[in-house]
Chain A
Amino acid sequence: MSEDKIGAVLVVGAGIAGMQSALDLADSGFKVYLLTEYPSIGGYMAKLDKTFPTNDCAMCIISPKLVDVAGHPNIELLTNCDLLELSGEPGSFKARIRKRTRYVDEEKCTGCGSCISVCPVEILDGFNENLRGTKNIFIPFPQAVPLKATRRKETCMGCGLCKVVCESGAIDFNLTDSEITIDIGSVVLAPGYKTFDPELMKEYRYDHPDVLRSIEFERFLAPTGPTGGHVIKPSTGEEPKSIAWIQCVGSRNERLDRGYCSSVCCTYAIKEAVIAKEHVPDLSCTIFYMDMRTFGKGFEEYYNRAKDEYGIEFIRCRVPSVKVRTDGGLFIRYENEEGEIEEREFDVVVLSVGFQPPDGNRELARILGIDLNKFGFCETGEFTPLETGREGIYVCGAFVEPKDIPETVAQGSGASAKASALISTSRHTQVTEREFPPERDVSGELPRIGVFVCHCGINIASVVDVLAVVEYAKTLPGVVYAENDLYACSQDNQKHIQEVIKEYNLNRVIVASCSPRTHEPLFRNTCREAGLNPYLFEMANIRDQCSWVHMHEPEKATEKAKDLVRMAVAKANMLQPLKTIPIEMNHECMVIGGGIAGMTAASEMTRQGYRVYLIEKEAELGGNLRSIRYSLSGEDPQELLRRMIEEVETNPMIEVMKSTTIDSIEGYIGNFKVNLSRNGEKREIGCGVIIVATGAEEYKPKEYLYGEDERIVTQHEFEELMDEGKLDLSGKTVVMIQCVGSREEERTYCSRVCCATAIKNSIVIKENYPDADVYILYRDIRAYGFKEEYYRRARDLGVIFIRYEKDEKPEVTKDGDLLKVGVVDQLLKEKFIIEPDLLVLSAATIPAADNPRISELLKLPLTEHGFFLEAHAKLRPVDFATDGVFLCGLAHSPKLIGETVSQACAAVSRACTVLSRPFIESEGTIAKVNELICSGCGVCVAACPYEVPELVVNERGALVARINEAKCKGCGVCGCGCPSSAITMNHFMDMQIMAQIDAFGAT
């Protein structure tokens, strides 16, 4: 291996996985080449309307990432490019890349769209799933990055009208493809997936106009889609009255050589049905399914809400075909749960198509020298899901296995950790520091406010009269400029805002659009890049707080939008520039929890070049992994355990502290102080970041006579007994009961791992004792992804699966010395009595008993179920809202070993975006004490939840409160509590807030 590692990474694929990976790497000191074959980054997520289970707008949560990628000095975008060849060795690769020409000079193109409007040729719009046409010269979607036009040569008429209207002279038909070669240290593969083509299942009548693929329906729901966000029956253009979703189209299908499960379709169908109902309230929505696989964090609750609150109908029967009457009407014939054949008509049928490997997968595998599995996805190990088998090339996202967005984002970060570990010694060698223009001194200037009112497509504009708000804004005091924008957050609009700031010499900027929670950093950055202090920016939320909640009252909503803008202007007139200060930081990491998550995180962290303290409260490392003796693929979990324990215990950069508990944690990102106890000994350790990997526990059941008979065990106990040779099951009967303690009133979530575990253990039994009878009693079999194949294996081995209902659970009784399990088979409606020699309960995975205490110590939120609550369910699965603290493993939610490893690597990657900095920047919006007024009463000290203010004797000998600017979170409690009004909250000063309130009262 070459000693000169190159501090750059090639990321192939720019969907959410690729973008997350690129951002983490770029934020950790590495140069990133982000390559995609498409003209824009964004992937499939950019096409979605809303995302489950929060129903967040997909584009809204992804656009800050698009803009981040676009503006990041360390990311070089290679769009419309193909990877041709990779040579060299890990740490020092050369990648040969073809840049396919757009026939448009990217330097000159402004993305204005004039060429598009004059082009006479129409082609199918791939972004909109070919549901409508677009022009031969096009921009895929309004928020595209880069926002450049692309011309398709094959279908071009050659009329040249585009060239005529292009004011920048950017279009040149003579441009040609070119090739470049780049030097990189490692590669991250994130090429994503494509969806199943229903042409392979003609019985579903995809040729009929009212039969749609789910991704097409998604485009109908999206405001930038072909119907402007209206749900229509395509053959008539009217609103449909009934829609059916057919699950498992192209998935779980051995006949089509697609025997795997695509993991996300159950939940996405529920989402589409729920959103469709929000569009059309009396719409009847029916989902035809086999097993409902809502196994992710928050998904089971989403499923319950869909049933109870939205009235979505769920019918458990796989649909064999879609039938068309001679008048064109669609109907579905199915066997209902009573065994009767029913026929139902539907206006629209949506096919929930599964995931396929992406086009070009074989070529990519050939170029990179990696293996594909039998379905064409990337071949990875069960415990090493981010590794391709070739050193230096890592993989993430759907190309590994179909998965949802949170898993994808975690894997994107995880792959970054792997890719950067290889080249960690070359950190910061290829990057450019972000340079901002010098900040303009606006002191002494009268306020010159610019107001940008956003349409947000139709999200705001369909309710609020945006132009009226703009005109109104112009009349407000201090406003010298106001305009309306279609999508204020798009990349080209940032440039535009900067130009307006300069041209009109603005010194305050207001954007009236969506939530500051997602977009304030984006616009603050825009101001900063225009030379304006970022705190001279204010947002008015006229979407979440206006157009979305008042969607049926447009006039009142418009008036409210005007009120909100008036209030923002009033405050803007009072805004002051604020400074942030650099704070020294500790570059060490503490990992709390020594299970597989904690050990993986610790190990990966050292490969990044940072020291780690690994804290474990028990006397032994390993956590739950100690109980897991078998795996589906045959890899040995105990060998993994031994290897990891040896790794962390011999690694000189990891200090392992067993039998250690945490007494208190203080501090803030970059400067945490943790007080530990071990056998009575105390110790204080400082660190810059903390990774919470505290794991979870196996529920000890209260039901099914557990504890009253040694023949009744949990899955963990079964594995231990089996592995230790304490069971002889030859000719015996084993019954497993699923969902014990999960999916119940007191614990509504799904524990995710139990179906795979039961299937795994049933295969272990059958392979060792072929004459044993094994019965698995289940409600839904959640063998998602490639685990579906093991479900088939279990059946082929003779394992019998019996389905029961939540309100008709199995009964376990003792009849003398016999154990009896009675279960009503929901298919046959017959009751079966089984006499097991062994009863194995798939008990729930419950949060660690310690979670509330850790939550208190670290001030971290817990979900309603007691697991830790991450910063954002979809896009920040391993971050906490508190900066500098990260999460991984079972502490987040139940998951399998491979998923835990991905998340642990992800937490490391996220933590490195902090640790790789030389110092921390404090917040600008903090509290300030006026020491002349302060009486030293100490109310603020008592009130502060972060224990920041301290009473000190100042230079004049007065006892005053002092607030550490680095530690203050700007929550405002002290500001409210101070009886002398000695504390001001920067950016939320009394006079600013009073101005807002006064403006609210005015007309």
Chain B
Amino acid sequence: MAVTKLAYYPGCPSGTHAIEQDISTKALFEKLGIELVEVEDWNCCGAVEIEDPHLVYALNARNLAIAEKDNLDIATPCSICFYNLERTNRALREDKDLSAKIRGIDPALDYKGTIRARHTLDVIVNEVGLDEISKKVVKKVPLKVAPYYGCYIGRPSEIGFDDPDNPDSMDRLIELIGGEVVPFSQMKTKCCGGPLMMTKGDLAFEMTKKILEAAKAKGADCIVTACPLCHMLLDAKQPDIEEKYSIKIEMPVLYISQLLGLALGIDPKKLGLDKNIVSTKEIERKVI
């Protein structure tokens, strides 16, 4: 295994509603033998910014420049952060005028274009590799799992690291740890409406409801996801969705780092499983 150390960009949700993704990712990487060094004084990636197209480049150039000082690639568990970081990376590498313009704003934004930004799921599946992971699997997770990827893992295809229409990084992990992937291919990458949560909540709820109902209809024991915004809608907002539409879903939603962590024998508390809103007790019970 080539990679032993990565710069870690937690992303804004990791300190708050996605805290369980943060701690489970850290626990998982420790188990996998990769040292994560948090990017010092990292700033927000800009998420889905509105105001100015160059703002994203400026914000992320700073993060990239910091990681570049230590000559480390950046790994982040947040899909949107990954998109912004890597998109900035490519743009600054390919467009010399843009790079000069950004550098001209502030010396802290002097990124030379020598590192990469990667999603932690990408690192797990494509750097560490399934063979390495299987050596570390100590428990079986015989569950029916619906892998929900969301938008940014595959799209746009020039940035995304998995197939935009039928990604399979999580599918392969689920199978590796003894799980069964439910037929979920139509919903895998169908947008949950996350970015509209604040401004058009009802639309977002409608779109998320479709995903939850599909998973339930296919007999899934749980949904697994890799994006904190998707997780928020699917998990934290699930009771609100149930209330709004007067339906019962009761579908646990785990981060892939949590599910994988269970298979690698990490203590559920260290994976933050008590922080998920929809109870994951049933899931924990089934791990053998």
Residues of A within 8 A of B (CB): 202-203, 321, 323-326
Which A residues are CB-close (under 8 A) to B164? 202-203
B186 & A202 in contact (Cβ 8 Å cutoff): no
B183 & A321 in contact (Cβ 8 Å cutoff): no
Contact of B183 among A202, A323, A326 (CB under 8 A): A326
A203 & B165 in contact (Cβ 8 Å cutoff): yes
B166 at the interface (CB under 8 A from A): yes
**Quick one: closest A residue to B182, CB to CB?**
A326
**Quick one: closest B residue to A201, CB to CB?**
B165
Which B residues are CB-close (under 8 A) to A324? 185-186
**Quick one: closest A residue to B185, CB to CB?**
A324
A323 & B186 in contact (Cβ 8 Å cutoff): yes
Interface of A, secondary structure class, is: mixed
B240 at the interface (CB under 8 A from A): no
CA gap between A321 and B189 in the complex, in Å:
13
Query: Interface code B130-164, partner A: CB below 8 Å = 1, 0 otherwise?
Result: 00000000000000000000000000000000011
CA gap between A220 and B62 in the complex, in Å:
59
Which B residues are CB-close (under 8 A) to A203? 164-165
**Quick one: closest A residue to B184, CB to CB?**
A326
Which A residues are CB-close (under 8 A) to B163? 202
Which A residues are CB-close (under 8 A) to B166? 202
Q: How far is the CB of A562 from chain B (nearest CB, A)?
A: 59
CA gap between A407 and B239 in the complex, in Å:
66
Which A residues are CB-close (under 8 A) to B165? 202-203, 321
A-B contact pairs, 13 of them (CB 8 A): A202-B163, A202-B164, A202-B165, A202-B166, A203-B164, A203-B165, A321-B165, A323-B186, A324-B185, A324-B186, A325-B186, A326-B183, A326-B186
Q: How far is the CB of A430 from chain B (nearest CB, A)?
A: 55
Query: Interface code B155-179, partner A: CB below 8 Å = 1, 0 otherwise?
Result: 0000000011110000000000000
**Quick one: closest A residue to B186, CB to CB?**
A323
CA gap between A744 and B183 in the complex, in Å:
52
Known: A203-B164, A323-B186, A324-B186. 10 other contacts (CB 8 A): A202-B163, A202-B164, A202-B165, A202-B166, A203-B165, A321-B165, A324-B185, A325-B186, A326-B183, A326-B186
**Quick one: closest A residue to B158, CB to CB?**
A255
**Quick one: closest B residue to A327, CB to CB?**
B183
**Quick one: closest A residue to B156, CB to CB?**
A255
Q: How far is the CB of A271 from chain B (nearest CB, A)?
A: 30
Which A residues are CB-close (under 8 A) to B186? 323-326
Q: How far is the CB of B157 from chain A (nearest CB, A)?
A: 9
The interface on chain B, measured as residues whose beta carbon lies within 8 A of the other chain's beta carbons, has a size of 7
Which B residues are CB-close (under 8 A) to A325? 186
Which A residues are CB-close (under 8 A) to B185? 324
CA gap between A321 and B163 in the complex, in Å:
14
Which B residues are CB-close (under 8 A) to A326? 183, 186
CA gap between A326 and B164 in the complex, in Å:
19
Q: How far is the CB of B244 from chain A (nearest CB, A)?
A: 24
**Quick one: closest B residue to A207, CB to CB?**
B166
CA gap between A202 and B154 in the complex, in Å:
12
Within 8 A of A (CB), among B44-79: none
**Quick one: closest B residue to A323, CB to CB?**
B186
Q: How far is the CB of A331 from chain B (nearest CB, A)?
A: 10
CA gap between A321 and B164 in the complex, in Å:
12
**Quick one: closest B residue to A321, CB to CB?**
B165
CA gap between A325 and B163 in the complex, in Å:
19
CA gap between A203 and B166 in the complex, in Å:
8
CA gap between A359 and B181 in the complex, in Å:
40
Which B residues are CB-close (under 8 A) to A321? 165
Interface centre among A321, A324, A326 (most CB of B within 10 A): A326
CA gap between A561 and B166 in the complex, in Å:
56
CA gap between A673 and B165 in the complex, in Å:
70
CA gap between A203 and B188 in the complex, in Å:
13
Q: How far is the CB of B184 from chain A (nearest CB, A)?
A: 9
Which B residues are CB-close (under 8 A) to A202? 163-166
CA gap between A323 and B164 in the complex, in Å:
14
Nearest 10 Cβ contacts at the A-B interface: A203-B165, A326-B183, A202-B165, A202-B163, A321-B165, A323-B186, A202-B166, A324-B185, A203-B164, A202-B164
CA gap between A326 and B183 in the complex, in Å:
7
CA gap between A321 and B154 in the complex, in Å:
15
CA gap between A326 and B146 in the complex, in Å:
14
**Quick one: closest B residue to A322, CB to CB?**
B165
Q: How far is the CB of A323 from chain B (nearest CB, A)?
A: 7
CA gap between A325 and B183 in the complex, in Å:
10
Q: How far is the CB of A413 from chain B (nearest CB, A)?
A: 44
CA gap between A203 and B163 in the complex, in Å:
10
CA gap between A219 and B165 in the complex, in Å:
29
Q: How far is the CB of B108 from chain A (nearest CB, A)?
A: 35
Which B residues are CB-close (under 8 A) to A323? 186
CA gap between A593 and B163 in the complex, in Å:
59
Q: How far is the CB of B156 from chain A (nearest CB, A)?
A: 10
CA gap between A603 and B166 in the complex, in Å:
59
Q: How far is the CB of A586 from chain B (nearest CB, A)?
A: 66
CA gap between A324 and B187 in the complex, in Å:
12
Q: How far is the CB of B149 from chain A (nearest CB, A)?
A: 15
Q: How far is the CB of A129 from chain B (nearest CB, A)?
A: 24
Q: How far is the CB of A456 from chain B (nearest CB, A)?
A: 44
Interface centre among B165, B166, B183 (most CB of A within 10 A): B165
Q: How far is the CB of A435 from chain B (nearest CB, A)?
A: 64
CA gap between A203 and B183 in the complex, in Å:
17
**Quick one: closest B residue to A325, CB to CB?**
B186
Q: How far is the CB of B9 from chain A (nearest CB, A)?
A: 29
CA gap between A202 and B168 in the complex, in Å:
14
CA gap between A326 and B186 in the complex, in Å:
9
Within 8 A of A (CB), among B169-225: 183, 185-186
CA gap between A326 and B165 in the complex, in Å:
15
CA gap between A323 and B166 in the complex, in Å:
11
Q: How far is the CB of B201 from chain A (nearest CB, A)?
A: 23
Q: How far is the CB of A203 from chain B (nearest CB, A)?
A: 5
Q: How far is the CB of B113 from chain A (nearest CB, A)?
A: 24
CA gap between A324 and B184 in the complex, in Å:
11
CA gap between A848 and B186 in the complex, in Å:
58
Q: How far is the CB of A280 from chain B (nearest CB, A)?
A: 30
Which A residues are CB-close (under 8 A) to B183? 326
CA gap between A321 and B165 in the complex, in Å:
9
Q: How far is the CB of A322 from chain B (nearest CB, A)?
A: 10
CA gap between A325 and B166 in the complex, in Å:
14
Q: How far is the CB of B218 from chain A (nearest CB, A)?
A: 8
CA gap between A650 and B186 in the complex, in Å:
71
**Quick one: closest B residue to A203, CB to CB?**
B165
Q: How far is the CB of A221 from chain B (nearest CB, A)?
A: 30
CA gap between A324 and B163 in the complex, in Å:
16
Q: How far is the CB of B275 from chain A (nearest CB, A)?
A: 33
**Quick one: closest A residue to B163, CB to CB?**
A202
Q: How far is the CB of A440 from chain B (nearest CB, A)?
A: 70
Q: How far is the CB of A333 from chain B (nearest CB, A)?
A: 11
Q: How far is the CB of B14 from chain A (nearest CB, A)?
A: 32
Q: How far is the CB of B163 from chain A (nearest CB, A)?
A: 6
**Quick one: closest B residue to A202, CB to CB?**
B165
Q: How far is the CB of B36 from chain A (nearest CB, A)?
A: 33
CA gap between A323 and B190 in the complex, in Å:
13
Q: How far is the CB of B240 from chain A (nearest CB, A)?
A: 27
CA gap between A326 and B218 in the complex, in Å:
10
Q: How far is the CB of B106 from chain A (nearest CB, A)?
A: 34
Q: How far is the CB of B8 from chain A (nearest CB, A)?
A: 32
Q: How far is the CB of B161 from chain A (nearest CB, A)?
A: 15
Q: How far is the CB of A634 from chain B (nearest CB, A)?
A: 28
Q: How far is the CB of A638 from chain B (nearest CB, A)?
A: 40
CA gap between A238 and B166 in the complex, in Å:
29
CA gap between A324 and B183 in the complex, in Å:
11
Q: How far is the CB of B229 from chain A (nearest CB, A)?
A: 24
CA gap between A324 and B166 in the complex, in Å:
12
CA gap between A323 and B185 in the complex, in Å:
10
**Quick one: closest A residue to B183, CB to CB?**
A326
Query: Interface code B113-128, partner A: CB below 8 Å = 1, 0 otherwise?
Result: 0000000000000000
Q: How far is the CB of B271 from chain A (nearest CB, A)?
A: 32
CA gap between A203 and B185 in the complex, in Å:
12
